Amino acid sequence: MKLNKLTPEEERVLIKKGTEPPFTGKYENFFGDGTYVCRQCGNPLYKSDSKFHSGCGWPSFDEEISGSAKRQADKDGRRTEMVCSECGGHLGHVFEGEGFAPKNSRHCINSVSIDFVPEQKK
């Protein structure tokens, strides 16, 4: 698997499981048509039609592309961490049962953990 070179901030979040400050990420208020991929390995993670504005300060999605990410207990013991199923990079956290979206799921994902690939227009 080919891994992209990461900036120190991307490494802090993806490898060391950090979090970018809320309301600072480039994808928080971005709503283009396309696919969000893992910044480290390029694995497709989220389709743009699953993105919604939750007001939490991070890009929010209501479901991942099937098989693209794994859920695991966060080291704090309270939250569920989302990691890329290909490279294991830290993406963010998922919260269930809050009522923010029709699927009742909110994936708070760090902008530095993802890249956006625009939909190809025909």
Q: Is 108 among the residues known to form the active site?
A: yes
Beta strand 114-118 pairing with 90-96: unpaired
Range of 64's domain?
Answer: 8-118
Q: Is residue 17 part of a domain?
A: yes
| Total residue length of the chain | 122
Which residue in the list 38, 84, 87, 108 is annotated as catalytic? Answer: 108
CATH number where 28 lies: 2.170.150.20
The one-digit pLDDT tens for each residue of the chain (122 residues) are 899 999 999 999 999 999 999 999 999 999 999 999 999 999 999 999 999 999 999 999 999 999 999 999 988 888 999 999 999 999 999 999 988 787 899 999 999 999 999 998 66
| Residue pair 89/36 in contact by the 8 Å Cβ criterion | no
What pTM value is reported for the model?
0.94
CA distance 13 to 117: 20
The pLDDT of residue 38: 98
